[in-house]
Structure 1
Amino acid sequence: MKLLFLGAGATGGYFGGYLAKAGVDVTFLVRRKRREQLARDGLKIESVDGRLDIPVKAITRDEIVAPYDAVILSAKAYDLDSAIEAIRPAVGDKTLILPVLNGMKHLDTLDAAFGAARVLGGLTHISVTLTEDGIIRQFGQLSTLTMGARFAGQKAAATALYETLARGIEARHADDIILAMWEKWYFLAAFAASTCLMRAGVGDIVRAAHGAEFTLNVLNECTAIAGANGYPPQPEMMEFSRTFLTDPASTLSASMLRDIQRGGQIEADQIVGDMIRRGRAHGVATPLLDLAYLHLQAYENRCAAVKPG
């Protein structure tokens, strides 16, 4: 299969790079500056397994000449509209689109743009960053990409894509990809809402008076929303979430908090706002999520007010 990765940033560059190393036909769709950097230096990854330096194929939008078998999207939610326009020339009648964004809202947008039949479900578990000099740097051991069919008619094509991905990365084929996406989302929403609202890591919150009660109450709101939408978290995931969010020794915080601390854009609506809306649709009360979302929107408004131009 011919795969097109939108961008060669942290997540897409990591998975695409290791697939290219395994001999998979991978092309990166990038902006001109990144294309020149990749042509000059190749793709560079610093992972827990060592360093990878590999020449890769990279093109700009105007250089797309034919459809690809699959397009992998790892864009941020606030860049989704521009991402859709960027990949349009690469999408043909049989092209699969595999988004690995957080939450669920992007599925509706992609379905409207390309048709639900070609849009799969997906998610990743990885902690990576792209340095200013173009190096993809991994933190921690996790580096999995989970994908699967959303509809019965997608199963054969989804299986073929999974088999291609499994040649070079730790890929997982979920029987119920929507459940898998919900399980990541409800945890991520609780993690982000808790640490961003308190502007602190998990351990700092938990060691405060009533801190563990607070994080569990945020988690309970997210759990109730997932259940009301027909995707209650499985016991193993529930146990992991409770343990993670009540660990007094934890130094971890959500990547959204790190984005705030550096003054960057955030996925407030995709991760927290949409969770609230899906809760309200089923009558689930979300007082703590509401407060966290207000906090995040206030941050976004302040950034917009001081943005040049």
Structure 2
Amino acid sequence: MTRILIVGAGATGGYFGARLAGAARDVTFLVRPRRAAELRADGLRITTPEGTERLEPKLVTATELDAPYDLILLTVKAGPLDAALHDLKPAVGPRTVIVPFLNGVDHLDVIGTQFPSAVLGAVVKVAAQLTPDGAITVSGPAASLEIGELDGQHTTRLCDAAAALDGAGFDVDVSDHILTSMWHKWVFIATTTTITCLAQGTIGDVAAVGGGKEFSEAVLAETAAVSDAAGHPLPDAAYVALQATMTQEGSPFAPSMYRDIKDARPTEVEHVLAALAREAKRHDLATPLINAAVVRLRVHNQHVANAPRPS
């Protein structure tokens, strides 16, 4: 049986890991000591529209890793990525495959520098949040995972990874163009983040005010132009569909970084928006709206870092 290591047990890692464990896969979570204590005391709790379930997960901390795993799902955010890569070194062997769940594409080079040829590309979709008491709440439709070799080949290890992940309660697809899929998800996240964080409202809030739809369309034009310049253009139908999503009146949607602002948590501005702005500059593209959102979120992160800590 494929040995699977889930690095992180937050909303995304906890959800996918719980589904895999529930499907009788050999799943272990690599977590920090504090999270390990929470999970040992309360279990891994998942609440969906269908109800709540509780799992007793198999856990390890970094000092307890002593052998390679076959498949590693890297579900941490960009901030703790370097620390996570350091921690998981004992779990990486010559045949280990790493599937990172991060947004954007910069992390591929970071991981590849330490673990050459081990990385697959991936696009993850799930509407999940970690509640203050450590539980995971899933509010959206069925989750999905798209994976692929960065060069588009159909390899044995890709097929083995897909087989190990399939049939666990979420959709699994193998892609011949995973980098394009990653870019298109990046466009979606960057667009919704720029719109909601600059305007300080949901997609529907912005669409409901004068000039709101035009503002959202201008943001999408910037992000899509960067993807196009990078060699991953949005097909016309996909662009029109995104345009409709970004201007939908009454839409309650807001991305995770908007919620981070509301909850006074640090955001992934450097990995998601600043990285896209750098890519735009490399192609001599002007992105004033993305640049403004970068400044806005950097100021927010600074405020969070400087805020007094509870005694």
Q: Which category of TM-score, normalised to the shorter sequence, fits these structures?
A: over 0.9
The residue identity in structure 2 corresponding to 1:279 is: A
The residue identity in structure 2 corresponding to 1:293 is: V
SS in 1 for 2:143: strand
| 2:75 counterpart of 1:81 | no
Listed as ranges, the matches of 1:31-180 within 5 Å are 31-115=32-116, 117-151=117-151, 155-168=155-168, 169-180=170-181
SS in 1 for 2:247: coil
The residue identity in structure 2 corresponding to 1:127 is: A
Contact 2:43 2:54 in 1 (8 A): yes
> Which residue of 1 is the match for residue 186 of structure 2?
185
1:119 Cα shift? 0.8
Listed as ranges, the matches of 1:20-35 within 5 Å are 20-35=21-36
1:235 Cα shift? 3.3
* Cα distance change on mapping 1:152 and 1:215 into 2, 3 Å: closer
Q: For 1:144 and 1:49, how far apart are their aligned partners in 2?
A: 18
Decide which moves more: 168-177 or 262-271.
168-177
Identical counterparts, % of pairs: 35
1:154 Cα shift? 7.1
1:153 Cα shift? 6.6
User: TM-score, with normalisation over the residues of structure 2?
Assistant: 0.94
The residue identity in structure 1 corresponding to 2:208 is: R
Q: For 1:269 and 1:43, how far apart are their aligned partners in 2?
A: 30
> Which residue of 2 is the match for residue 226 of structure 1?
227
1:159-213 CA deviation, whole Å, 9 max, x = no partner? Answer: 1101110121321211211011011001110100110011111111112111101
1:16 Cα shift? 0.7
SS in 2 for 1:96: strand
Q: For 1:228 and 1:206, how far apart are their aligned partners in 2?
A: 28
* Cα distance change on mapping 1:214 and 1:97 into 2, 3 Å: same
1:291 Cα shift? 1.3
Matched residue pairs, number?
308
1:23-59 CA deviation, whole Å, 9 max, x = no partner? Answer: 1110001122322333343322112343222222111
Contact 1:13 1:136 in 2 (8 A): yes
Structure 1 stretches lacking a partner, 5+ long:
none
User: TM-score, with normalisation over the residues of structure 1?
Assistant: 0.95
1:42-77 CA deviation, whole Å, 9 max, x = no partner? Answer: 322112343222222111111111000011111111
